[in-house]
Structure 1
Amino acid sequence: MRHNSNRLLLSSLPAFFAVFFLLLVLILTGSGYLSRETLKRESLIMATFISSALDRELAAAERVVRHELLDKTRFLLLARLNPTHNSYYSTYELSVMLRELAQRHPLIDSIYVYRQADRTIQTRNVASTLERFGDAAYLQAVLSEPAAGQQWSAARAYREFEGQSPASVVSIALELPMLQQSGGAVVLNVSTAALTELVGRLSDPSSTRVTIRDGDGSPLLASGPEGIGTDAAFASAHTGYTVQLGYREGILHELLGTLTALYVAAGCVLTALGALWMIRSTKRHYEPIQSILSRLERMTGARGSGHAPREQFGFLEQELERMIERATAYEQQHREHAAIRRRSLCEALLAGDYAGSPEEARRELRAHGWRWPDGACVLALAEIDDYDGFVARYGKRDQALLKFAIYNVVLETTRGTPLGEPWMEWVSPSRIAVLHGDAGARPGSSDPAALRRAAAWIGAHLRLSVTIAVAPSAIDPCALDAAYRQAQRLLRYKRALGIGGVLGSEQLALADDTAALAVLVRTPEAAAAYRMAGPGWNPQCEEWLTRLRGLLIPAEEIELLVRGLLYHIGLELQRLPEPLLREWRERCAPSVERLLHGERTLEALCRELRTALIAAAQQLVASRLPAGDSTALDEVRAHIDRHYADPELSLAALGDAYGFSDKALSRQFKSRFGVGFLDYVMQRRLEAAKRLLEQSAEPIGHIAGQVGYPNALSFTRAFKRSVGVTPADYRRA
């Protein structure tokens, strides 16, 4: 029996070796294929890198020329293209300028300026006419077709005069404003030898073949040994040049191919011999095996299964355990790499930098475990409100824990809804992009109910405020960048629309980019009224805050308007005595400034700003004059407010009525309100005149009489001196 077992084992060895060699052949073949594919991907990455480097260097050369020529006063004078400037000194100065410019960038071979006024060309070496210039053919082609000269040309021969050895360059005609107006051109030439040297530095010339072709497919330059095929090609959108790259196959790759061929041949021979041996062995050992199986069936009363001894599988069990361990490690590494690729794909789609087609984007999303539905998808952007305060309140570990909780709350709330399984990624430290949708979604529609529940849960349980902006849905992955920009725009309006909830694009229907101008133009008037305010709150400041509260503008514009009000109030209060001005700067202004820190809704900001300004005004009033004089002066001002249109209103009459001398009343009135008596009366009259000009169509002479001016001429002079325009122009505006 043992002898038969050994013979059976020996009969199976040829098949075992045949299978082993076949597996080895497959492994070697697959390794060669993967090596080739990896080489192609690396070649494409390297070609893209070289193309980007060329684009960057050529663009840098363009920027050097544009910035230097536009910034230099001497060139601006010479570039007026006036023939009167064609003196020897001007020509020499321009040539020196071009020579210095060419020395600043290593790629620049030469540069020259063509002046249409006198049909002359100035290079860094010579000054010539168009007819005698060695590069006249290219310049005439550029002048006849300006659009063709605005891209980098193919490799061409350049020389400044007949008989000169030509240099191989690529050229571009730069657009400068002064040349477009008066006619002319600036031509920049870059040496192909310098480009070849640059490519040689970026690659390994001993093993890498780099060929660059122009837009027509003609060779521009080549670097590296010949006889190497092209593994990858990349076309630049900036220059139109195509970079073709290939690597020389090393000795190891050739040896691998030879070994693979040998193993294939040996495997085929051994497989054939093994098949013949197995057929022969099966015929010889069939009867003993059948006899053993039959005996086992009689002894056990069951059908024999032909199990091999346990020790034969010991080695196989150990190898399987090792393979499982290696597979687990590879799987973990694959998950880490997949997370990086997933984030890169999300960033490319949201930034609009994805280079593939919508179908390719769908395939990549599907490869990362998320299927783009047949219909549209909705993009939402969730942002942690007052992120600076969030960072200040919590440490790094608590921040990470809270962000993890926010992520999972949004994920679990939106999962299982009609919107489908979401795709979520952190796009910034404070923002999560949420992409969801189903086959029934329509472009421009969204269902933020689940997102509202998520925002409410976070606010109730995590003590955090999260605002979620829902953009119009996108019909394909390549349209996500527009939806992402719309969501970002919505978040800029969250102070006006509301913090801690869900914002939709329809809420921006009433947004007006010019609405803030109406508040901005009234800021100086409100600041002037605040300076002259008494213990009570000033109606003009209240009107300014009411207008601000009704605006639908971004957060940065809200802050700009509030800071503008504080700036104008500071300017107005400079007229007050130094102690009062110091009181504003040291106590009042900082309390108002603190309101701009943190995130508040526009309603809350206006409410707290009103309270702070009232408190500051009361402090200023309390610091101005004793209570008795302050009350009398308030009565004087109230009298002026009621009778400003009286032509007989004067300082002497008010002094007699309220027990002041002329000089004392003038001095104390200005100390109390920061403005002189006559200036205040004129201000009240002009304010009333503005309202009448805006709200009525009465003649200007009639309006002048209503506000206290004896005739239209004096009214017009005073109005123009104060406002800057005549009453008629103000009414038309």
Structure 2
Amino acid sequence: MRMSWYHRILLSYAPIFFLVVSVLIFSFFAVLSNSAKDQIALTDEAIATKVMQVIDSSLKATERMLIKEMDVNDSMAAFFRNDASKIAFDYFLISRKVDEFSSMLPLSNSIYLYNEKSGQVLSHNGLSSLDQFGDREFLVEAYRSGTYTSGWTNPREFKEFSHEAGGERVVTLFKYYPVTGDRQGAVVINIRVPSLVSFIKDLTRYDAGLIQLFAGNGEPFDKNQGSPAVRPSGQEQLKHAVSDYTSWYYISNARSDKQLSFLSLLHNFWIILGLAAVAAGIGWFTYVTHRNFKPIQAIAGRIQDYTKRRSGELVRHPAKDELKFIEAAIDGLLERSSQFEQLYKDDLPIRRRQRLSEWLEGGTMMSEARWKQEMAKLQLPSDFARLMAAVMEIDRHSQFANGYSPKDQYLLKFAVSQVLQEIASDHLLVLWNEWLEPHQMAVVFYLDHQESARSQAIEAMRRLQAWVSDNLEFTVSVGIGSDTSFYADLPGSYEEAREQLCHKPLFGTNCMLGKESIRSKREGGIFPHLQLVSAIARSFRQDDGHWQAHVNKLAIVLQNGIFSQADLHHVMDYLLYQIQKELDEMPEEVHDLFKRDYLPQLEAVADSSRTLNEWRDELCRLLLELEAQIREVRAVRNNDLLVCRVKQYIELNYADPELSLGKLSEYFELNPRYLSKLFKEEAGEKFIDYMLKVRLEEASRLLLATELSVQEIAERVGYLHVISFHRAFKNMFGLPPGDYRKKSDGVRRAGE
């Protein structure tokens, strides 16, 4: 079997291509091996240095926070104050304050306080004497010699109770209290070694631990690493980093690829072999190209002869390059073909719209077979069991036309049409929709024999309404016609759908109107509903949050009855009378505010509203504004105003890492304890709980709305250490920040 020209060219070039590429790849790896080993060593050093910097930063932050806390923490000072009146509950409060400070530190830890004069030690588990304290030997040695006051210790065994069989390995920060002046005792922070090792594993994202941490005496922090290590030297020096702060050092476990090292021994040989392969390939390419170019030259000659005979019909400006000459000839043929095709496509939407308009207006007088032929020419469906017409109308089209340019109007209408097509595809529906009027879109549904087909079509239009309402700045109403089994009866269904839209003023905007929804309204007077009006006024004065539900219930009652504009005026007048009567029992400022600013606006609501929904919405808007004004008046008369100012300050400055109760007290010139008590009484929650809620709710918003990293989000909401942010976020939302973002993205995609 003869091969095609493509396969002949492919087989001509393929052997030399694979040979040259293979040789070059081996040569490349051989030359690159030495450089790769150096880069691996530099990468190991960079990783070890970065981990060292993060650990040192966390430990320094812990030391700074402890020194600051020793200066400002009244509870800690109370422990060292030798006051015989302290009772067990006082020590419990001090222990709880120390625990709160401990929870703010970056790493898992424990803290205990030692009072020299009383000989007592206070820890998380309670108060004990020095003789009974499990860590007595270390505490006595450190306190007397001052050996450990300069920084963190190497790993050591710690147990809080002397009767414990074993302890836990920790590194310790020892500080005299106070920082300056006569010594009254000491504060000791123990960070658990497993927590430190786990933190390093989390940083490097290796379960086995890419970085090994060793103390200054060579003792490994992780006992699973084996025997004590020896400080590396020589070329291995690049693979470790030593901390100037703690004297600990960090060693990487990465190793160079031995295969690359083997290839590096032969790199000169591979370079020579690669150059020889390139030279051989150039010669082969020249020969094969010359042989394969002959058919192209022959084609170009035939095209040139034809062009000369046809007066340059295919190619107007012949090129010297044969391939460009052939390309120009093919482009000429394609251009002529595309011009005819484009003319047909450009005319197709116009012909579709015209044909649908004629069909729905009853102007199509042809047999069903001829009608199917016309649909096939227009690339439209023609097979159906039943047909149903629907009309979608833009609500308040005059505002829509004034608010958007003609170009934007066209784009919005096109978007609505495309969304309807997608929704119909989800419901396995076939439809034909066109904008026959500036404010109306006609839709024809091709239904099957299933009884649920009509309800599915109506549901598709409801989804379209919901999408427009949620994503665009206008709403649409839909009229549904009856279904028919003959194509010539569709104009009747279309006319019925348009008639349904005439009832829109009765139902309001964004409504779905069909034979299922249009029904007679019940008649009745307004007197039975005046009790509901009184309930609205009473609920508004009591500020119990139920008056809006009463307004909605009143609107439904009025919607179900036949009431004139005069009846609506009567209801509104009685409502204003009841509200004014209820507000007379409130302070004079509230009564004056209502009469001066809101009574005239409320009296005009009934006249300015075109529908009951507009009346209800405008009434609720004005009452909500009045409700907010009344709350402000109440706030001026008590401490609520001060608490509101504190909340506002927190909401504006939550990103400040130094934000605290002490800073707020200085800003508002109040005693911290008084401010804390006042905030708890008025706001119903602690200051720290409210600040955490503001910060973490903002963090939740940033996780869902942005692509910022967790570290960046933590800094934006006022956390210096991402570990503390992780812990606080998980306590509030039940998930770490990363998992929270992934779960929200999954829920959003499932919803879409």
State whether TM-score is above 0.5. no
* TM-score in terms of structure 1 length: 0.31
* TM-score in terms of structure 2 length: 0.30
